[in-house]
Amino acid sequence: MTDRISKYQRFKMMNPIIQFFMFLYLSIKIMVVVAGGHGGTR
Mean pLDDT, the chain, as a whole number? Answer: 84
Q: What mean pLDDT comes out for the span 21-42? A: 82
pLDDT of residue 37: 73
pLDDT tens column, 8-24: 888 888 899 999 999 99
Measured CA to CA, the distance from residue 42 to residue 38 in angstroms comes to: 10
Q: Quickly list H helices, 1-42.
A: 7-14, 16-33
